[in-house]
Amino acid sequence: MTPDWIDVATVDELGPGKSHFIEVGDVTIAVFNLDGEYFALEDACTHDGSRMLSCGVEAKFLVHGERLMCPRHGAQFCIRTGTALSRPATGALARFAVRVESDQVQVYSESQT
C-alpha cells in the first residue's frame, strides 16, 4: 500500500465530540474530533488486537472525553497520544497524521508511531 492522504469525512460530519473509522487496506483507523482538534489511531487494542470503535458498539459507550475504551477487557487509551492508560493494554496505539483539506478531514495512511 502506498502512503497517501485518505478522505475520512467532511468537517461538518466529524464535528466536535464526533468520531468515525475507516478501513485502509487491512488497517482500521479511528478518527476523533476533540474540541476542534483531530486525532487518528489504529483501531486495534494493543492487548489482544480487538477492534474498538469499529466493533459495532456505539461510540458513546467507548469514548469518554479524551479516552477510548476497548469493549472486550476495558483497557483505555489516550485519544490525543495513543498511550495505554490502563491494563490489560501496555503498549500505545499507532497514530496517524490528520489534516483538513478543502473541508475534508483526511488521514495519512502511514503510521507516525
Q: Which residues pair with 5 in a beta bridge?
A: 108
| 5-111 is a CATH 2.102.10.10 domain | yes
Domain ranges of the chain: 5-111
The C-alpha atoms of residue 62 and residue 17 are separated, in whole angstroms, by 12
Task: Write the Ramachandran bin of 56: left for phi over 0, alpha for psi from -120 to 50, otherwise beta.
Answer: left
Say whether pLDDT at 50 is over 60. Answer: yes
Look up the pTM and report it.
0.91
The pLDDT mean for the chain works out to 93
pLDDT of residue 111: 74
pLDDT, tens digit (0-9, with 9 covering 90-100), for 82-98: 999 999 998 999 999 99
Say whether pLDDT at 2 is over 70. Answer: no
